[in-house]
Amino acid sequence: MNITLWIIASVLALAFLGAGAMKLAQPQGKLAASGMGWAEDFTPSAIKAIGLAEVLGALGLILPAVMGIATFLVPVAATGLAIVMVGAIITHLKRGEKQMAVINVVLAALALIVAVGRYSTWAF
């Protein structure tokens, strides 16, 4: 089970690190033009906050466990990312973007698997 959780956490970390870094590095207009139409519905500072949450969540999935310091942060980060995905699901459904909502449901489910697996005492 531990190996499975590491694989899921690593995939999630890569996905959220990339997505978050993009939100932090690119302006709102460029994000909207690149297919992230939802960005038009948010302020630039809100987009940066979402990006920062995703980057910090990605780091929180991996670094505490690798370093063996404050490992309780791994399930906290996974839970936080699942919450971010709930917001993304709501946003995409409001915009009628069902395919994007499905992707967010999958990401949220994977984050919850990591959270539940890492909250248990046998996972580390």
What's the whole-model pTM score? Answer: 0.91
Structural domain of residue 66, as residue ranges?
2-119
CB within 8 Å of 84: residues ≥ 6 apart: 50, 53, 54, 57
Q: Is position 103 within any domain?
A: yes
Q: Is residue 124 part of a domain?
A: no
Inside any domain, residue 95 = yes
Chain position carrying tokens 């870094």: 21
Contacts of 23 (CB under 8 A, 6+ apart): 31, 47, 48, 50, 51, 54
- Per the domain annotation, does 49 fall within a domain? yes
pLDDT values of the chain reduced to their tens digit, one per residue, 124 residues: 789 999 999 999 999 999 999 999 999 999 999 989 899 999 999 999 999 999 999 999 999 999 999 999 999 999 999 999 999 999 999 999 999 999 999 999 999 999 999 888 654 4
Q: What is the DSSP letter of 35?
A: T
What's the structural domain count of the chain?
A: 1
Per the domain annotation, does 24 fall within a domain? yes
